[in-house]
Chains A and B, each alone.
Chain A
Amino acid sequence: MFLGTVVYALINSVILALMAIGFNLTFGISGVANFAYGALYVTAAYVSWMLLNLLKLPYFLSAFISILFTTLLGALMYRFILLRVRGQALSEVIATFGIGLAILELFRYLGFVGFEYTLPVFIDQSFFILGAYVDMQRILIVIFGALLILGLWVFTHHTSLGLAFRGIAQDERTALSLGIDSDWIATLAVSFGAGLAAIAATIIIPLGSISPSEGYSVLIKALAVCIIGGLGSTGGVIVASFIIGFAERFTDSYISSHWTMIVSLAAILIVLIVKPSGLFGEQKELEERI
């Protein structure tokens, strides 16, 4: 039971990290808190479902097209809406939240509600690991999650575009003086964040089903992880995912599933009281206020 709980806690942690990493990337680079993130996650899943079930395209081609579509949607969202309000935090939040709300409620209005909206698992097998049966999809989630985080690290540390990302994140004015186009990089950051949301949806949705309310749930989880880890800090996101992921599963197993959702909310409250910028946050002005 204990080892089984550890296995599922690890999987839960990687799921949370996957859900939050795109939100964190966008905020870390462009400074935009993309509250349409959950809607983009759900959009990717619905697009995959439509390509797979209505156009009868092969599954992996459907997933690939939906990731590209969502990435493009993120870029368009930035160029045509967010660019106009960039730098005005409140306007950015209102704009992205409004876009997210519109997308999710449009799906609801169009009748995309029901249990048939689900995606198939990649490989339908289960393995006995450390005292518990684990399905292949969850094992793949851990592998994909690790590869994605590694890939993101290589991208931001060893490619010119990734270094430009970090340049903008560290000091936009200095980066501008070195010829880095901050608007273009911010477009890419929102776009890549949307793409990461789509990748997360493609891997995670086969475990459950697609519904508009999933968009709100993903946004809340991403926010919880980022607030605890520190907005903009990739290391923080990973650590926070593990804290929440393990706390949730151990609460489930050894206290009661009734309290599971309270865990992440309590963790947010404690972090906001003790360290408002999050465990690895760099918003020093918040620290100086207390």
Chain B
Amino acid sequence: MKRKLALFGLLLIVSFIWITPVTHVSAAEPIVIGVPTSLGFLEGKEAHKAVQIAVSEINAKGGVNVGGTNRLLKVAAADLRDAAPGVPVPEALLGLEKNILEQKPAAIVVGPFRSEALIAGMDIIAKYKVPMLGTVAMSPTSEKKIKEDPEKYKYIFRTCLNSIFLAKYLAGGMALINKEFGFNKVFVMHQDVAWARAGAGAMKAMFFDKAGWDVLGMEAYPTGSADFSSGLMKARASGAQVIMPIFDMPQSGILVKQWKAMKVPALMFGFISPLAGSQAWKTFDGKIGGGMNCIFEIGNSIASPNVPKSLAFTSKYKQVFGSDIQSGHGVAPAYESVYILAEAIERAGSLDPDAIVAELEKTDRMGVLGRVKYGEGNQAVYGIDPNETAVGAVIQWTEDGKRKIVFPETLANGKIHLPPGLKSMK
């Protein structure tokens, strides 16, 4: 009996010794950052890489100090495929929930690619109370939902710009075009997805109708559309001076090629993913001179010396991955989001989601995007002065294959030039 008791005691001691270090190790386990998005699409792929850079930089400095303990960060990515045509929202939501349940992230960055998936997924994020810093989906509907029930949806933040801010940049560019060349007839072609519909609608309501522009047509194209000839013929027949595209699907490159091939005498200014990066010149055989594109956030496919950290980030990206950032959206905000999150965790001193959210709300950080502060509906505020807000930019391709920032004035290093064949109205 004594022997059995001694054996039992020994077992208890061994168990205690065994368990104690395990507890200690688990306290210093890495903080998991979930990256559930469409990893097979350019913006998702490059945003994931940006997160990896930020995480490695933070880890190289010892990690994040959580209540006196330094903890490393760990990335747990999941491909939601929500940007692919035909993938239903519920399938993307399953991927999101799986990422949360299996990886147990302390927070999510990047998040669902399509606004449709984000809006539907907000209930899942609220249910598990996982702070999320979105950097791709752009529909302002998510902010509306947050404002309606702030306690429930307070975990959802957006570091990238939304469709309303996009419309403001496009409006700024259009006003400049009107001022310089007297153009006021526009034909709108947009992807039939929430963010693009919201962007096109906001442009019409907030700018074109008020500024006296003629909107000659608004064509919505389902994701995956591969022929834009009819829309371009309509634009030409109606006498459009500016074509405003809003697309993020890979097939939108066809629109650029058709615009050139069909010799449509109109300036192309809006957002087409394939036009944003340095590679576009080669992709389109140098036939994009004059094309204007909105870079949603500075530090993506273009940087500015007026935002020094954007230059540092883009060159670091090239150094690590061997190629420039090609996306005009979501990449720099993904990088910045990791730092914003890390700082919020350090200030909170814990991984409690409510404490992190309370600190995220207080964010005021000068970084890659300019100055990031979250405003109404937890949306990062975008403007035209990088010392006051986060900033985006409008670029124009020159005839010799360079990209110049033409708007806003605080970042501009060039003026708008009409491509050959287009004449100013002034």
- Closest residue of chain B to A137, judged by CB? B261
- Closest residue of chain B to A109, judged by CB? B40
Interface membership of chain B positions 228-256, coded 1 if the CB is closer than 8 angstroms to chain A and 0 otherwise: 01110110010000000000001101100
Cβ distance B254 to chain A, nearest Cβ, rounded Å? 4
Selected from B42, B220, B231, B254, the residue in CB contact (under 8 A) with A114 is B42
Contacts of B40 in A (CB 8 A): 108, 113, 212-213
Contacts of B285 in A (CB 8 A): 120-121, 124
Instruction: Give the docked Cα–Cα distance between A209 and B229 (Å).
Output: 17
Q: Which residues of B in the span 254-288 have a Cβ within 8 Å of any Cβ on A?
A: 254, 257-258, 261-263, 273-274, 277, 279-280, 282-283, 285
Cβ distance A74 to chain B, nearest Cβ, rounded Å? 24
- The answer to whether residues A249 and B224 also contact, given A113-B42, A114-B326 and a CB cut-off of 8 A, is no
Contacts of B42 in A (CB 8 A): 113-115
Interface size for A (C-beta < 8 A) is 40
Selected from A118, A253, A261, the residue in CB contact (under 8 A) with B224 is A261
Asked if B41 is at the interface of the complex by the 8 Å CB criterion, the answer is yes
Contacts of A108 in B (CB 8 A): 40
Instruction: Give the docked Cα–Cα distance between A172 and B326 (Å).
Output: 53
Would A115 and B250 count as touching, CB distance under 8 A? yes
Asked if B62 is at the interface of the complex by the 8 Å CB criterion, the answer is no
Contacts of B225 in A (CB 8 A): 257, 260-261
Contacts of B224 in A (CB 8 A): 213, 217, 261
Would B283 and A249 count as touching, CB distance under 8 A? no
Asked if B9 is at the interface of the complex by the 8 Å CB criterion, the answer is no
Asked if A252 is at the interface of the complex by the 8 Å CB criterion, the answer is yes
Would B222 and A252 count as touching, CB distance under 8 A? no
Instruction: Give the docked Cα–Cα distance between A8 and B41 (Å).
Output: 29
Contacts of B283 in A (CB 8 A): 115-116, 118, 209
Selected from A4, A120, A216, the residue in CB contact (under 8 A) with B86 is A216
- Closest residue of chain A to B255, judged by CB? A208
- The answer to whether residues A213 and B230 also contact, given A113-B42, A115-B279, A120-B285 and a CB cut-off of 8 A, is no
Would B85 and A252 count as touching, CB distance under 8 A? no
Instruction: Give the docked Cα–Cα distance between A118 and B285 (Å).
Output: 10
Instruction: Give the docked Cα–Cα distance between A258 and B231 (Å).
Output: 11
Selected from B85, B221, B263, the residue in CB contact (under 8 A) with A133 is B263
Selected from B45, B220, B251, B280, the residue in CB contact (under 8 A) with A256 is B220
Contacts of B352 in A (CB 8 A): none
Would A256 and B226 count as touching, CB distance under 8 A? no
Instruction: Give the docked Cα–Cα distance between A51 and B36 (Å).
Output: 34
Asked if B192 is at the interface of the complex by the 8 Å CB criterion, the answer is yes
Would A115 and B273 count as touching, CB distance under 8 A? yes
Contacts of A257 in B (CB 8 A): 219-222, 225, 230-231
Cβ distance A261 to chain B, nearest Cβ, rounded Å? 5
The number of residue pairs between A and B whose CB atoms lie closer than 8 Å in the complex comes to 118
Contacts of A217 in B (CB 8 A): 85, 224, 226
Would A213 and B84 count as touching, CB distance under 8 A? yes
Selected from B221, B227, B273, the residue in CB contact (under 8 A) with A12 is B227
Contacts of A248 in B (CB 8 A): 227
- Closest residue of chain A to B263, judged by CB? A133
Q: Which residues of B in the span 37-68 have a Cβ within 8 Å of any Cβ on A?
A: 40-42, 45
Instruction: Give the docked Cα–Cα distance between A47 and B390 (Å).
Output: 42
Cβ distance A36 to chain B, nearest Cβ, rounded Å? 18
Would A208 and B253 count as touching, CB distance under 8 A? yes
Find the residue from B40, B41, B42, B84 having the highest chain A CB count within 10 A: B40
Would B274 and A209 count as touching, CB distance under 8 A? yes
Asked if A135 is at the interface of the complex by the 8 Å CB criterion, the answer is yes
Instruction: Give the docked Cα–Cα distance between A137 and B165 (Å).
Output: 39
Interface membership of chain A positions 140-159, coded 1 if the CB is closer than 8 angstroms to chain B and 0 otherwise: 00000000000000000000
Asked if A71 is at the interface of the complex by the 8 Å CB criterion, the answer is no
Selected from A137, A220, A252, the residue in CB contact (under 8 A) with B231 is A252
Instruction: Give the docked Cα–Cα distance between A96 and B252 (Å).
Output: 30
Q: CB within 8 Å of B: which residues of A?
A: 1, 4-5, 8, 12, 108, 111, 113-116, 118, 120-121, 124, 126, 132-135, 137, 207-209, 211-214, 216-217, 220, 248-249, 252-253, 256-258, 260-261
A-B contact pairs, 26 of them (CB 8 A): A8-B233, A111-B45, A115-B250, A115-B253, A115-B279, A116-B279, A120-B285, A126-B263, A132-B229, A134-B261, A134-B262, A135-B261, A212-B40, A213-B224, A213-B250, A214-B250, A217-B224, A249-B230, A256-B219, A257-B220, A257-B221, A257-B225, A258-B192, A258-B219, A260-B225, A261-B222
Ranked 7 nearest A-B pairs via Cβ: A135-B261, A252-B230, A115-B274, A8-B229, A253-B230, A208-B254, A133-B262
